[in-house]
């Protein structure tokens, strides 16, 4: 009994506290001071807008009128809104078609730019340059290239005896036009793939070559699995960016002389912008923003879960 009480008293003893030296305390507060600008910016420009939009999504709000609580009315109105479903369908089309095509083209370009040829650095610069062109300028350029009457694209197709489609006015070709525009500025994705290709162990490629593997076999069984984490990263970031696709589509709709063909370019972010800043439905737009957040979160978690089957991490 006494032994048990003695053991109990030992556990009751307080462990010695951690005492910071004066220098450690100074470094801690100095670090907090350096973090303060970021913390203030995060609270003012990220946390507060998110919290406010969450509150507004359950209310009817106008800048000149007091906030009126409406509960789930904004969400009910959203799911019964035809334009909401059209915008979501258009966005899902861009995610399902545009993102994989861009990844495939980026990977193939990165493989070509990784070849040891003369003038390699010049080719890399040329491929990357379109990605630094401002969004509005590149969109206006492609509106001119894809003009059905006098555009460069249809002129070149005419020389080949192929009748060019109505890129800007046909609902079946409006979204492919925007996908072409996005693929033209995929330089950053190419650079990320290129960095991954340079990390592929050369001894694996050399061993496979000695065993008689062709270039395509080395690409399929060694290079592609080794860059699969890069593919996952580009896939997730590309999906998130495409769900928020706005600038190119907004310029396309606003400057296209043929107009927006049957709402085929009405994307989710464009409709959200119209609801919030043109129709001043702040509560409705906030509800749309939170639904988009949940959709992106669900798709990201699904991709991370599925990626366990095809993503290889060395070591």
Tell me the two tokens of residue 286: 């906030």
* pLDDT above 80 for 279: yes
Residues 6+ apart with CB under 8 A from 243: 91, 95, 268, 269, 292, 295, 296, 299
CB 182 within 8 A of CB 98: yes
Which segments within the chain are labelled E, that is strand?
59-62, 65-69
Find the mean pLDDT for residues 153-182.
Answer: 88
- For 122-154, how does the pLDDT look when each residue is reduced to its tens digit (9 = 90+)? 989 998 999 899 988 998 899 889 888 888 898
Least confident of 17-21, 118-122, 183-187, 307-311: 17-21
CB 264 within 8 A of CB 171: yes
pLDDT at position 315:
60
- For 23-38, how does the pLDDT look when each residue is reduced to its tens digit (9 = 90+)? 888 888 998 999 999 9
- What is residue 84's three-state secondary structure? helix
Calculate the alpha carbon distances from 301 to 54, 236, 307 in Å: 22, 10, 10
CA-nearest of 150, 149, 135, 148 to 181 is: 135
pLDDT at position 256:
62
The C-alpha atoms of residue 4 and residue 192 are separated, in whole angstroms, by 63
- Domains plus CATH for the chain? 75-309 (1.10.3720.10)
């Amino acid at each position: 009994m006494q032994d048990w009480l003695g053991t109990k008293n030992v556990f009751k003893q307080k462990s010695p506290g951690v005492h910071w030296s004066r220098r450690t305390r100074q470094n801690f507060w100095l670090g907090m001071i350096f973090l303060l600008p970021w913390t203030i910016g995060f609270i003012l420009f990220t946390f507060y807008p998110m919290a406010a939009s969450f509150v507004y999504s359950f209310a009817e709000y106008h800048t000149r009128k007091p906030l009126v609580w409406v509960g789930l009315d904004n969400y009910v109105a959203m799911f019964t809104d035809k334009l909401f479903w059209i915008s979501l369908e258009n966005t899902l089309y861009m995610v399902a078609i545009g993102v994989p095509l861009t990844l495939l083209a980026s990977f193939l370009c990165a493989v070509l730019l990784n070849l040891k040829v003369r003038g390699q650095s010049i080719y890399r610069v040329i491929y990357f340059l379109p990605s630094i062109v401002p969004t509005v300028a590149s969109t206006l350029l492609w509106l001119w290239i894809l003009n059905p009457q006098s555009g460069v694209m249809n002129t070149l197709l005419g020389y080949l005896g192929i009748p060019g489609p109505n890129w800007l006015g046909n609902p079946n070709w409006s979204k492919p036009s925007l996908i072409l525009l996005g693929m033209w500025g995929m330089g950053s994705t190419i650079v990320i793939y290129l960095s991954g290709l340079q990390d592929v162990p050369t001894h694996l490629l050399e061993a496979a070559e000695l065993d008689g593997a062709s270039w395509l076999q080395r690409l399929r069984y060694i290079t592609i699995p080794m860059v699969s984490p890069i593919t996952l990263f580009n896939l997730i970031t590309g999906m998130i960016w495409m769900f928020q696709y706005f600038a190119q589509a907004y310029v396309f709709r606003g400057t296209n002389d043929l107009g927006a063909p049957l709402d085929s370019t009405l994307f989710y972010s464009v409709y959200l912008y119209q609801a919030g800043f043109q129709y001043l439905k702040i509560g409705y737009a906030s509800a749309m923003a939170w639904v988009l957040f949940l959709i992106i979160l669900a798709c990201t978690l699904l991709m991370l879960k599925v990626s366990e089957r095809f993503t290889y991490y060395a070591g």
